């Protein structure tokens, strides 16, 4: 039996789907992973999981008819040539163009994992609303014959149902992508007020609010440290390295670049911050929880599922840097609560977000099971 796992980024196949790929290989499935632009080391890492690898053509950002038709043709040819028994696609372009290609080929076992709504679902001006209209209808076409559509929070699922994108009978919710509790281990806290944000350099990750809050706090608590880790992103909402370096030069934050291993940064911090505008289920928050960190994030779909307000952290209003700063100051002035909240985060991660439990649920939804997994 052959299964295709289709993602946008090679690194996400390794970091976010690696455990799932290994599990399927262990079941005896022939796994092929698909993404775009993998380098030699990334292909080697994917193959070390026991998976084959195929590269496909895609322009990840924006809707360009010529580029997207090429992506659709690429998927159509790959699927027709390889005839997988099962397909699991995640993120917007693999789901839309992979789903449409599967539908054209009358493939009856296409499964979509909605890991977040992304920038294309955020309301705005006239042209932004046209983009939302196009994306909604493309999703509707791609998911019409899907066997299952798996979400990471109920808000996203309900939005898809309410907009008529997908029938409720096909919809399921799982607890994010999960986190490997053996890889992200509980570590002790230090005594310094060290805040950390890990995210791609995008405006809707709340990075500007993080910087504004840091600027407010630095005047009163100059020893507070605000670190930022994450790669550039070429999308329309991207923040340039030049802008980030100016923030660093001003002394508001410390930008640490991008990293394939975020554990040293989480270990150094005492409070993990993600002021995002929207998420499916933020993987970086789950990793910080597994390492026993209090969480400060926004009261938006995906993020709110990770925090029991006042127990393992705090939720603040989206795009409200003043409220974000207030809660940061609360953490600075209530150091005795760091360990209590961090322990609660660790307990929640163990109970709800263990990657093995999440993957078992995904495979169960897809009709793939093995007695030893449950």
Domain spans in the chain, listed from the N-terminal domain onward: 2-178+354-373, 194-352
pLDDT of residue 370: 67
Strand-strand pairing, 110-114 and 86-90? parallel
Domain range 2-178+354-373, CATH class = alpha beta
H/E element holding 293? Answer: none
pLDDT of residue 121: 74
7, 31 Cβ separation under 8 angstroms = no
174, 156 Cβ separation under 8 angstroms = no
- Distances from the Cα of 193 to the Cα of 5, 227, 257, 272, 323, angstroms: 41, 11, 21, 11, 18
Cα–Cα distance measured from residue 245 to residue 243, given in angstroms and rounded to the nearest whole number: 5
φ, ψ of residue 288 in degrees (nearest 5)? -65, -40
φ, ψ of residue 238 in degrees (nearest 5)? -70, 150
**Grouped pLDDT means (10 residues each) for the chain, 374 residues:** 96 94 96 96 97 92 84 97 97 96 96 86 74 92 97 95 96 95 96 96 96 96 97 89 96 95 97 95 97 98 96 98 98 97 98 96 90 41
Rg for the chain (alpha carbons), in Å?
21
pLDDT of residue 64: 80
Question: Tokens representing 242?
Answer: 């030049």
Estimate to the nearest angstrom the gap between the alpha carbon of 167 and the chain centroid.
Answer: 24
φ, ψ of residue 343 in degrees (nearest 5)? -65, -35
Q: Residue holding tokens 């953490």?
A: 331
Which residues, in sequence order, are CB contacts of 58 under 8 Å at separation 6+? Answer: 8, 36, 67, 71, 74, 93, 97
| Residue 243: count of CB within 10 angstroms of its CB | 14
pTM score of the predicted model: 0.90
Domain covering 194-352, topology: Rossmann fold (3.40.50)
Q: Do the domains spanning 2-178+354-373 and 194-352 agree at the CATH topology level?
A: yes
Cα–Cα distance measured from residue 21 to residue 35, given in angstroms and rounded to the nearest whole number: 14
Question: Tokens representing 293?
Answer: 């960190």
């Amino acid at each position: 039996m052959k299964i295709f796992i289709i993602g946008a980024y090679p690194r996400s196949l390794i970091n976010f789907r690696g455990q799932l790929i290994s599990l399927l290989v262990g079941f005896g499935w022939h796994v092929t992973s698909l993404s775009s632009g993998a380098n030699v080391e990334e292909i080697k890492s994917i193959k070390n999981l026991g998976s084959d690898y195929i590269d496909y053509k895609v322009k990840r950002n924006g809707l360009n008819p010529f580029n997207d038709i090429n992506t659709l043709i690429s998927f159509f040819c790959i699927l027709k040539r390889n005839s997988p028994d099962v397909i699991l696609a995640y993120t917007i372009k693999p789901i839309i163009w992979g789903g449409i290609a599967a539908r054209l080929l009358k493939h009856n076992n296409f499964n979509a994992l909605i890991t977040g709504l992304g920038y294309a679902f955020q309301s705005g001006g006239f042209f932004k609303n046209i983009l939302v209209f196009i994306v909604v209808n493309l999703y509707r076409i791609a998911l019409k014959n899907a066997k299952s559509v798996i979400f990471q929070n109920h808000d996203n699922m309900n939005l898809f149902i309410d907009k008529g994108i997908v029938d409720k009978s096909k919809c399921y919710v799982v607890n994010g992508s999960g986190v490997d509790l053996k890889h992200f281990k509980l570590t002790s806290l230090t005594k310094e007020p060290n805040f950390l944000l890990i995210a791609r350099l995008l405006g809707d990750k709340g990075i500007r609010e993080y910087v504004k809050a840091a600027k407010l706090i630095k005047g009163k608590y100059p020893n507070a440290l605000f670190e930022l880790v994450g790669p550039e992103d070429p999308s329309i909402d991207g923040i340039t390295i030049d802008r980030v370096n100016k923030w660093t030069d001003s002394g508001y934050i410390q930008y640490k670049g991008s990293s394939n291993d975020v554990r040293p940064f989480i270990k150094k911090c005492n409070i993990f911050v993600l002021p995002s505008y929207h998420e499916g289920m933020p993987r970086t928050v789950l990793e910080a929880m597994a390492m026993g960190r209090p969480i400060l994030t926004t009261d938006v779909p995906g993020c709110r599922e990770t925090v029991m307000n006042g127990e393992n952290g705090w939720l603040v209003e989206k795009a409200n840097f003043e409220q974000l700063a207030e809660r940061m100051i609360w953490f600075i002035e209530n150091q005795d609560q760091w360990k209590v909240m961090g322990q609660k985060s660790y307990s929640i991660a163990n109970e709800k977000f263990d990657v093995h439990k999440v993957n078992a649920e995904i495979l169960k939804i897809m009709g793939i099971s093995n007695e030893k997994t449950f």
